[in-house]
Amino acid sequence: MDSAAQLETIAARWQGSFHNRRQVAATLARGGPVAPELTRELRTMEVERLQAPHLGEVVLYFQEFRASAPQLAHRQRVVVLGVDPLRGAVRAEQLFFRGGPTYDRPALDAAWVQTLGPEAFDRHPGCDLFFVAEPALDRFRARMDPGACRYRHPQDGEVCADFEMLLHPDQLWYRDRSLRLADGSVRGEVDGFSWLLFDRADRSDGIGPDGALDADLPALVRQQGVWRGRFRRYDAEGGLLETFPSTITIRVFQEGGRWRYHQSSLHGPEDAPLRRLEAQGEIHSGRVWFTSERYQGWAMDLPGEDPAAGSLLVMRARDPADPDVHEIISCSADGRRRWRVSQLLKDGQLVGRTTIDEEKLSGG
């Protein structure tokens, strides 16, 4: 493949919506203490091709968002692709938005960005990327020239950036860090300078063409709506203790730039007043984190399923006299039915089980 063909292939592969949900799920499923080399935060990336001949023939624009600050573009760049005649390689010239912070910038619409002239950007040629084809692995590797991307930081003095990217047909990997040249110490790095893995999103992920974050939230969020079901409680030996109807309402909404979760449960024996339980929570880093009067816990997607076919919940009792709860939720392919199995544990012993069969009445 000649350089011109490589350029178009790179441009095509680089465009689209991407997310690191699979990598986050694998990290969370691994368990153990938090490690700086293992990403636990959901990120999404949107890359669009601009019609901006005043900037270059092939111009891309990307924004990357973190779940902890979905209203801000953590990384935001315009990239001009071209063939470097001296190297015979594809060069990606990075254009940095002039004015304001380098990271965590307000999101900008691509239609407006493509109207900006060259005066709206700063250029740092040493920070450009050069692509090398690795045909045996069906990918391109891009990186800056070693030690070339230098700039002066107001607090840390002379700094050198180190960035590398791998571009597959359906994946985008990158790692990023900066070093203080005075002593070689790390000024900043993304997840311990390990690789971030972004998968290309498609309609099965639920991610829209604008890369909106609400489309790539945990499976429990996609179960929002009103569910009617029946609880069956069993003792530790499997004997049926009681059965009763339930109505559960799940609601997801944005507030203060964050995603919030609310669940209201109505249930109880048919010959007794209904009991109402309320749970409030927040959604970030690939999980739903929630609290109620009796429990606090989290929910995550069942690992190894893409798209997720259900959820895993862990609930810790606030009162030591109450049992902890481990629950698995499985959903039908059409999202209209779900089946829940809970195990109640106290002092390391099984004390009971609950099964719930539910049908969605509305919402979602």
pLDDT band for position 42 (50/70/90)?
Answer: confident
**Burial per residue of 322-340, b for 16 or more beta-carbon CB atoms within 10 angstroms, e otherwise:** ebbbebebebeeeeeebeb
Residues 55-75, mean pLDDT to the nearest whole number: 89
pLDDT at residue 90, as a whole number: 97
Asked if 209 and 228 sit in the same domain, the reply is no
Could you tell me which residue, 210 or 325, shows the higher pLDDT?
Answer: 325
CA–CA dist 260, 280 (Å, integer)? 8
- Report CA-CA distances (Å) from 222 to 72, 100, 190: 23, 36, 29
Asked if 182 and 293 sit in the same domain, the reply is no
pLDDT at residue 310, as a whole number: 84
**pLDDT digit string (tens) for 167-223?**
999 999 999 999 999 999 999 998 889 999 999 875 333 333 333 434 457 777 778
Could you tell me which residue, 206 or 1, shows the higher pLDDT?
Answer: 1
Asked if 147 and 172 sit in the same domain, the reply is yes
pTM, two decimal places: 0.61
Asked if 102 and 197 sit in the same domain, the reply is yes
Asked if 205 and 322 sit in the same domain, the reply is no
Asked if 170 and 225 sit in the same domain, the reply is no
Asked if 268 and 343 sit in the same domain, the reply is yes
Tell which of 216, 243, 271 closes a domain: 216
β-bridge mates for residue 59, sequence order: 50, 80
Asked if 184 and 156 sit in the same domain, the reply is yes
Secondary element (H or E) of residue 6: helix 3-14
**Candidate from 7-16, 274-283, 353-362 with smallest mean pLDDT:** 274-283
Asked if 145 and 159 sit in the same domain, the reply is yes
Residues 330-339, mean pLDDT to the nearest whole number: 89
CB 205 within 8 A of CB 216: yes
- Two structure tokens written together for 203: 């309609």
CA–CA dist 148, 162 (Å, integer)? 9
Asked if 209 and 237 sit in the same domain, the reply is no
Asked if 193 and 330 sit in the same domain, the reply is no
Tell which of 216, 232, 256 closes a domain: 216
Total number of domains in the chain:
2
- Our measurement of the distance from residue 186's CA atom to the centroid of its chain's CA atoms, rounded to an integer in Å, reads 25
3-state SS, residue 44: strand
CA–CA dist 301, 335 (Å, integer)? 15
Residues 221-230, mean pLDDT to the nearest whole number: 88
Residues 309-338, mean pLDDT to the nearest whole number: 91
CB 74 within 8 A of CB 174: no
pLDDT band for position 307 (50/70/90)?
Answer: low
- Two structure tokens written together for 157: 């003095």
Question: 254 is in which domain, residue-wise?
Answer: 221-362
CB 124 within 8 A of CB 151: yes
Asked if 205 and 236 sit in the same domain, the reply is no
For the cut 70, the answer to whether the pLDDT of residue 308 exceeds it is no
Closest-CA residue to 17 (of 205, 145, 149): 205
- What is the CATH number for 355? 2.40.128.20
